[in-house]
Amino acid sequence: MNPMEFLPVRQRFPPAHIADLAGSVRESLNASGVVIPAGLRVAVAVGSRGIAGLPVIVAETVRWIRSQGGQPFLVPAMGSHGGATPEGQAAVLREYGITEEAVGAPIRSSLDVVRLPQGDSPVPVFFDRLASEADATIVINRVKPHTSFRGSYESGLMKMMAIGLGKHRQAVAIHALGIEGLRNVMPKVATQVLRHANVRLGLAIVENAYDQPLHVRAIPADRIAAEEPALLELARCNMPRLPLDRIDILIVDEIGKNISGLGMDTNVVGRMKVKGQPEPDSPDIRMIIALDLTDETRGNAAGVGLADVITARLFKRIDFPATYENVLTTGFFERAKIPLIAESDRAALDMAMRAAGMPELEQARILRIRNTLRLDEMLVSRAAWEAMRGCPDVEVIGPAVAAFAAEGRLNPF
């Protein structure tokens, strides 16, 4: 094989998924036992993650509310995302296809909050003012492992109630405490929200390794804290993983907040970059190259510091005010430090090879993926394939392909 060629490989994961997403959402909402009395104004909280089928999920929830005579409207629940502005957060929803025309309900965006009783929370507890003025709030979010910590509650309904619906002020207050704030204080804040706000229902989504909806559950507010941990474990068991534990170079075509809160999922790449926190044992990746930002991330490159080398085209697309606001809120500065910048894809690979101490390309275990959500198909070097060829769930799906096109650009995936 030519040293500048890669083999296309497919990795198989359990294929189970929801075929009729709208029907599953409707069935789960009906089975929840929650009733929306006619005339109630209902705030539907929607976040900034790229959940598969999100417009369908939101539209079906809106229909369910209207079928009972409720009056739904949407509120962004995303802490400091969207540049921590009402307009920016509404724009994030629009880019996910969440518009009034698509889902049948208006979007009302504000960063104003009301203060709730603090209880045993060490920080003040805030709640979206617009949602507080409604008669009820329904929270929609994906449950999945977090990119910064491990706990009973990571990314999911509890975090959205605390940080998403607490808006920028709550995000700052919790993140100021670092990992302690996320792991231990966030659940206390969410508990106060459940006690004193108007949350009526949570709609939790778990996805499979193909970024498809695997499970949907509508949970009455008084059972969210008890039921979410089991959903987190279901999500953890169904996460996609790289097929090798030791990798010399990982090439990631795109990073962005629609992929993960840190552009690339730390659970996939095995890097946390949080001071005082141990790094995961696997996978062990010597060098990570990030080639570009997604359009949907709107220049927010939070997490770019997980990479070792980036391209000039990625660097030129960074919206530094949006990125810095996000990172200043979290306090995890290491993750925003700019890696080495290469003028071309070829130069990025050359830099990574030198830094990894690999004199010969044909000896390097190199994997190229689209992003950390799409690990079913990838391009791999011959050395990488030799290391994974015994895995029963991985297969070569075509002839070797040239790595580079003209002007040092990697060929389209």
For residue range 225-268, list pLDDT tens digits in order.
Answer: 999 999 999 999 999 999 999 999 999 999 998 898 889 999 99
86 or 124, which is more confident? 124
Residue 3 pLDDT: 55
d(Cα 121, Cα 113) in Å, to the nearest integer?
17
d(Cα 319, Cα 299) in Å, to the nearest integer?
4
47 or 117, which is more confident? 117
Read off the pLDDT of each residue in 346-353 and give the average, rounded to a whole number: 96
Read off the pLDDT of each residue in 362-385 and give the average, rounded to a whole number: 95
Q: CATH number of 32-237: 3.30.1540.10, 3.40.50.300, 3.20.20.70, 3.40.50.11440?
A: 3.40.50.11440
Binning pLDDT at 50, 70 and 90, where does residue 166 land? very high
Residue 148 pLDDT: 87
Q: In this structure, are residues 362 and 350 in contact, taking their beta carbons and an 8 Å threshold?
A: no
Tokens of 75: 């509120």
Of 333, 336, 328, 335, the closest CA to residue 168 belongs to 328
Residue 255 pLDDT: 98
Residue type, 43: A
Does position 62 have pLDDT exceeding 70, yes or no? yes
C-alpha distance from residue 109 to each of 86, 94, 157 (Å): 5, 12, 19
- Domain limits, the chain: 5-13+240-408, 32-237
Q: In this structure, are residues 173 and 125 in contact, taking their beta carbons and an 8 Å threshold?
A: no
Q: In this structure, are residues 391 and 31 in contact, taking their beta carbons and an 8 Å threshold?
A: no
Mean of all residue pLDDT scores within the chain: 94
Of 70, 21, 78, the closest CA to residue 45 belongs to 78
SS3 annotation, 109-132: CCCCEEEECCCCCCCCEEEEHHHH
Residue 362 pLDDT: 81
- At 381-406, the pLDDT tens digits run 999 999 999 888 999 999 999 999 87
Read off the pLDDT of each residue in 5-11 and give the average, rounded to a whole number: 96
Does position 371 have pLDDT exceeding 90, yes or no? yes
Binning pLDDT at 50, 70 and 90, where does residue 81 land? confident
List all residues 6 or more positions away from 341 whose beta carbon is below 8 Å from its beta carbon.
309, 310, 311, 312, 315
